[in-house]
């Protein structure tokens, strides 16, 4: 214990020596994985990149410089100065002072203008107010979720400060060398859903992803009574308590990767959850929506909103390519995964050069309108864990260009013949991809001009709004459009459906993008019920339909179905509308893309494990990779423990 204390103090004392004397060092303390330094004269250090960079390099941690609270000028005066220094066209819409962190958060439509050339405006703000500005982008479309998350974090600043300090103390315990590393498959192996992997060494325990299986028909509690529960990860069999877990690392915001995390908070987990900033906001959107859906259908949710809020206040966000210590011996780096906004591959460096793992989460190694291809460059890879959703030998998707043309032709034909088009979509990801396609064709190709309104309904708008807050996570061409007021998400071709569903349905031809990807509840089901009987209408599937979903049954040719109407009475609906499935829009890689991704990895991994796919797909991809790459490849089962070192 004594030695530990000395060691912890050690790093903090080093910083004092490394700081220039004119800065007037007051104290240094841990703040999560980073170190915060408080000084009397912040202008002597702030914006001097070489000082901060040198100290960061020496202590191998991110250094955050702040004013000693006694130096912070009065909030009213500071607001005045900030308003004077920042040009009007920056579009400031909130200035919020966070005393606990000596920070002033400035929300603006144009962060670039707030920052100024070479950070000049920020430097002036620091010099005149001594508060450290943090710039947040205001989404160009109003987002209640982003507002809610930001308000929550402001409100919980005092808690956040204490929490980050205790996480930091834990991370900065002296490094003890681990002798072994093992992983245990807790969920999502040889199946899709409830992804979770436990990583253990002598000294650390990390959970990567912790999802649920949201498919209907896999009701956790009911299935458990029948001896099997495929809804939640096998945490209870892992022989650990929640307090043993040092950190949870999330790859992206889909329910099958995050849906179980609030449950852990409900039952006492109080450690950090790492994710990218967009993943935090999308997680809030999807988890609140999940709870609402269960309540509406009369079910009992596993946890409630309070547990989701607890999770949000325990999140530590990191951008791509930032190296972060999550324990004394494990370093995390996120890389672009190309799957949905903020989705990431996880690179873990364990011990000093002892072992390196890449865990893909879900990846797209192919063209989409939203993201760059998944990253293939890593410092080292000993083991690769790779998704296999479309890993089967025959899972080859058509060329994206062809898919787009088929989509446009199908829409046009239906509209020209006086019908309506319904496209049920997952609110996050596919919706935005399709919106960009529609906007692109409307503006560039007169052959596909759609002479009908295109309505957006359900969660699509909120999800798109979150995209506009993070343009730097999108591919450059799209980023440019958003930053130069040509955002396809605000294109004039779209109309927002505001509670006038019956009106839309009574009017003539229209295209309707509605959330609820697999027709499992959500607004897409409401439209489906009203549109199904008219043979002039067309239903277009562009995404995944799970085995038990209504979407899958309709896709397979279902001709009639009894569904509850508005009053809850069952009524028989004949399905006469055209049903079309257009492949090629998936956010997952197909077989070819998965193979290419691994072949293009540098360096090549020494061992590969397949996961996140039906049993046959995981096995098939493992076989394919082993024969192509010639490295040991396996498709582990849930509950398998594997010693890596
Ligand atoms: Zn996903």
Q: What is the pLDDT of residues 366-386, one digit of tens each?
A: 999 999 999 999 999 999 999
* Ligand 1 centroid, distance to 588 Cα (angstroms): 8
CA distances from 169 to 32, 33, 325, 326, 429 (A): 8, 9, 12, 11, 38
The two three-digit tokens of residue 616, written as one number: 């046959």
Q: Taking CA 628 as the corner, what is the angle to CA 623 and CA 629, rounded to the nearest 5 degrees?
A: 100
The rounded distance, in Å, linking the Cα atoms of 406 and 585 is: 11
57 CA distance to ligand 1 middle (Å): 35
Cα(295) to centroid(ligand 1), Å: 24
Q: With pLDDT > 90 as the criterion, what percentage of the chain qualifies?
A: 80
Distance CA 460, CA 428 (A): 7
* pLDDT exceeds cutoff 50 at 5: no
Q: Which residues contact 550 (CB under 8 A, 6 or more apart)?
A: 518, 519, 520, 525, 561
**Helix runs in 470-510, H state only:** 476-483, 501-506
What does pLDDT average to over the chain?
Answer: 92
Distance 420 CA to ligand 1 centre (A): 30
Query: Does an H or E element contain 82, and which?
Result: helix 75-85
- Of the candidates 198, 39, 15, 47, the one whose C-alpha atom is nearest the C-alpha of residue 116 is 47
Q: What confidence score (pLDDT) does residue 372 get?
A: 97
Query: Model confidence at 1, in pLDDT bands (50, 70, 90)?
Result: very low
Tell me if 388 sits within 8 A of 611, measured CB to CB.
Answer: yes
What does the alpha-carbon distance between residue 513 and residue 605 come to, in Å, rounded to a whole number?
A: 41
CA 535 to chain centroid? 39
**DSSP 3-state assignment of 102?**
coil
pLDDT over 60 (residue 313):
yes
Distance 500 CA to ligand 1 centre (A): 32
The pLDDT of residue 65 is above 90: yes
Say what the pLDDT of residue 10 is.
Answer: 73
Q: How far is the CA of 254 from the centre of ligand 1 (A)?
A: 5
In the 3-class helix/strand/coil scheme, how is 400-460 assigned residue by residue?
A: HHHHHHHHHHHHHHHHHCCCCEEEEECCCCHHHHHHHHHHHHHHHCHHHCCCCCEEEECCH
What's residue 364's pLDDT? 97
Q: How far away, in angstroms, is 342 Cα from ligand 1 center?
A: 11
Q: Supply the pLDDT for residue 217.
A: 54
Least confident of 236-240, 469-473, 623-627: 236-240
Q: Which residues lie below 8 Å from residue 338, measured CB to CB, with a gap of 6+?
A: 363, 364, 365, 366, 368, 371, 372, 373, 374, 587
φ, ψ for residue 526, nearest 5 deg? -60, -45
The pLDDT of residue 355 is: 97
Residues 188, 504: Cα–Cα separation, whole Å: 41
Burial of 372 (0-12, 13-18, 19+ CB in 10 A): middle
pLDDT digits (tens, 9 = 90+) for 492-532: 999 999 777 888 999 899 999 999 888 887 899 999 999 99
Q: Name which of 462, 460, 466 is nearest 438 in CA terms.
A: 460
Residue with tokens 């309104």: 453
Cα 218 to ligand 1 centroid, rounded to whole Å: 19
The Cβ of residue 237 has, within 10 Å, a number of other Cβ atoms equal to 11
What is d(CA 458, CA 209) in angstroms, rounded to the nearest whole number?
27
**Which tokens is 501 given?**
């569903």
314: helix, coil or strand?
Answer: coil
pLDDT tens track for 393-415 = 999 999 999 999 999 999 999 99
Categorize the per-residue pLDDT at 568 as very low, low, confident or very high, splitting at 50, 70 and 90: confident
The size of the chain, in residues, is 645
Helices 591-600, 615-629: axis angle to 10 degrees equals 40
Residue 546: the pLDDT is 78
pLDDT score for 158: 97
Q: How many angstroms is it from 389 CA to the middle of ligand 1? A: 10
Cα dihedral value 44, 45, 46, 47, nearest 10: 100
Residue-level pLDDT at 330: 96
Q: What is the pLDDT of residue 12?
A: 84
**Rounded distance, CA 494 to CA 151, Å?**
30
Expressed in angstroms and rounded, the spacing between residue 343 Cα and the centre of ligand 1 is 8
> From the CA of 332, how far away is ligand 1's center (Å)?
20
Q: Strand 511-515 and strand 494-496: pairing?
A: unpaired
138-147, 212-221, 287-296, 402-411: range with lowest mean pLDDT: 212-221
pLDDT recorded at residue 228: 52
193 Cα to the center of ligand 1, angstroms? 9
Average pLDDT for 579-583: 95
pLDDT tens-digit series, residues 329-371: 999 999 999 999 999 999 999 998 999 999 999 999 999 999 9
| Region for residue 329 given its phi and psi (left: phi exceeds 0; alpha: psi -120 to 50; beta: otherwise) | alpha
Write out the two tokens for 120: 């000049």
Q: How far is CA 565 from the centre of its chain?
A: 35
Per-residue confidence band for 227, with pLDDT thresholds at 50, 70 and 90: very low
Inter-CA distances, 29 with 8, 50, 59, 270, 546, Å:
10, 21, 13, 20, 49
What pLDDT is attached to residue 358? 98
What is the distance in A from the centroid of ligand 1 to the CA of 262?
Answer: 18
Pairing relation of β-strands 511-515 and 383-387?
unpaired
In the numeric block, which tokens belong to residue 525? 């089901």
Asked if 320 contacts 336 with a C-beta cutoff of 8 angstroms, the reply is: yes
| Ligand 1 center to 30 CA (angstroms) | 33
Q: pLDDT, tens digit, for every residue of 74-86? A: 999 999 999 999 9
Sorting pLDDT into bands at 50, 70 and 90, what band is 443?
confident
DSSP type of residue 320:
B
Task: Measure 598 CA to ligand 1 centroid, in angstroms.
Answer: 19
User: What six digits make up the tokens of 121?
Assistant: 């405006």
Distance 207 CA to ligand 1 centre (A): 17
Taking the centre of ligand 1 as the mean of its atom positions, its distance from the CA of residue 562, in whole angstroms, is: 31
pLDDT band at 47 (very low <50, low <70, confident <90, very high): confident
Cβ-based neighbour number of residue 391 at 10 Å: 30
Q: Give the Å distance between the CA of 432 and the centre of ligand 1.
A: 15
C-alpha 362 to ligand 1 mean position (Å) = 5
Nearest to 393 by CA among 627, 632, 602: 627
Are the C-beta atoms of residues 252 and 426 closer than 8 Å to each other? Answer: no
Give Dmax (Cα) for the chain.
81
Contact (CB, 8 A) for 569 and 526:
no
The pTM of this model reads 0.93
Per-residue confidence at 49, pLDDT binned at 50, 70, 90?
confident
Q: Which two tokens stand for residue 276?
A: 């990218």
Q: Rounded to an integer, what distance in angstroms lies between the CA atom of residue 479 and that of residue 502? A: 36
Phi, psi of 107, rounded to the nearest 5 degrees:
-95, 130
514 CA distance to ligand 1 middle (Å): 19
Give the per-residue pLDDT at 223.
42
Q: What element of type H or E holds 625?
A: helix 615-629
Give the distance from CA 500 to its chain's centroid: 31
Position 296 pLDDT exceeds 60: yes
Helix locations, 301-358, DSSP H: 305-313
Tokens of 68: 């000693």
**Four-point Cα dihedral 470, 154, 287, 526, nearest 10:** -70
Distance 337 CA to ligand 1 centre (A): 10
What pLDDT, on the 0 to 100 scale, is given for residue 216?
Answer: 58
């Amino acid at each position: 214990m004594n030695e530990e204390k000395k060691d912890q103090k050690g790093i903090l004392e080093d910083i004092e020596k490394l700081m220039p004397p004119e800065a007037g060092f007051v104290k240094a303390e841990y703040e999560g994985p980073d170190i915060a330094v408080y000084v009397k004269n912040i202008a002597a250090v702030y914006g001097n990149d070489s000082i901060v960079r040198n100290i960061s390099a020496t202590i191998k941690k991110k250094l955050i410089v702040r004013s000693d609270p006694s130096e912070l000028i009065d909030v009213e005066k500071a607001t005045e100065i900030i308003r004077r220094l920042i040009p009007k066209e920056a579009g400031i819409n909130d200035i919020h002072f966070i005393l606990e962190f000596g920070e002033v958060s400035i929300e603006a439509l144009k962060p670039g203008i707030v920052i100024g050339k070479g950070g000049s405006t920020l430097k002036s703000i620091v010099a005149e107010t001594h508060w450290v500005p943090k710039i947040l982008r205001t989404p160009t479309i109003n987002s209640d979720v982003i507002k809610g998350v930001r308000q929550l974090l402001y409100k919980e600043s005092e808690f956040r400060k204490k929490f980050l300090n205790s996480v930091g103390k834990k991370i900065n315990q002296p490094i003890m060398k681990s002798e072994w590393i093992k992983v245990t498959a807790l969920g999502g192996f040889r199946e899709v859903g409830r992804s979770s992997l436990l990583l253990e060494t002598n000294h650390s325990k990390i959970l990567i992803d912790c999802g649920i299986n949201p498919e209907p028909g896999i009701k956790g509690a009911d299935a458990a009574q029948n001896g099997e529960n495929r809804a939640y990860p096998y945490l209870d069999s892992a022989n650990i308590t929640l307090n043993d877990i040092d950190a949870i690392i999330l790859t992206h915001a889909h329910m099958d990767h995050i849906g179980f995390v609030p449950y852990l908070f409900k039952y006492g987990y109080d450690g950090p959850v790492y994710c990218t900033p967009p993943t935090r906001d999308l997680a809030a959107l999807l988890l609140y929506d999940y709870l609402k859906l269960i309540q509406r259908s009369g079910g009992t949710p596993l946890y409630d909103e309070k547990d989701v809020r607890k999770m949000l206040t325990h999140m530590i966000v990191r951008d791509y390519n930032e190296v972060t210590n999550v324990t004394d011996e494990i370093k995390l780096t996120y890389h672009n995964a190309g799957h949905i906004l903020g989705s990431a591959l996880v690179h873990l460096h364990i011990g000093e050069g002892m072992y390196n793992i890449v865990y893909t989460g879900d990846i797209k190694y192919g063209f989409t309108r939203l993201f760059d291809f998944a990253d293939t460059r890593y410092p080292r890879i000993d083991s690769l864990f790779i998704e296999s959703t479309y890993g089967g030998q025959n899972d080859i998707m058509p060329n994206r260009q062809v898919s787009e043309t088929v989509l446009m032709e199908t829409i046009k034909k239906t509209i020209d013949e006086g019908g309506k088009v319904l496209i049920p979509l997952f609110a996050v990801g596919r919706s935005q991809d399709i919106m960009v396609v529609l906007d692109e064709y409307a503006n560039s190709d007169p052959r596909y001009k759609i002479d009908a309104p295109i309505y957006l309904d359900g969660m699509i708008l909120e999800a798109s709004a979150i995209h506009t807050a993070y343009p730097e996570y999108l591919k450059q061409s799209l980023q440019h459009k958003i930053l130069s007021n040509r955002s396809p998400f605000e294109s004039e071709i779209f109309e927002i459906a505001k509670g006038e569903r019956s009106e839309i349905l009574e009017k003539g031809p229209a295209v309707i993008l509605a959330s609820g990807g697999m027709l499992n509840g959500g607004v897409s089901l409401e439209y489906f019920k009203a549109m199904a009987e008219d043979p002039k209408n067309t239903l277009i599937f562009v995404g995944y339909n799970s085995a038990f979903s209504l979407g899958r049954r309709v896709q397979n040719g279902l001709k009639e179905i009894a569904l509850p109407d508005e009053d809850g009475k069952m009524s028989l609906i004949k399905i006469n509308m055209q049903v079309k499935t257009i492949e090629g829009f998936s956010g997952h890689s197909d077989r070819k893309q998965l193979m290419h991704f691994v072949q293009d990895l540098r360096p090549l991994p020494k061992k590969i494990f397949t996961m996140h796919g039906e049993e046959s797909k995981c096995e098939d991809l493992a076989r394919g990779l082993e024969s192509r790459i010639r490295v040991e490849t396996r498709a582990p089962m849930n509950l398998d423990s594997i010693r890596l070192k």
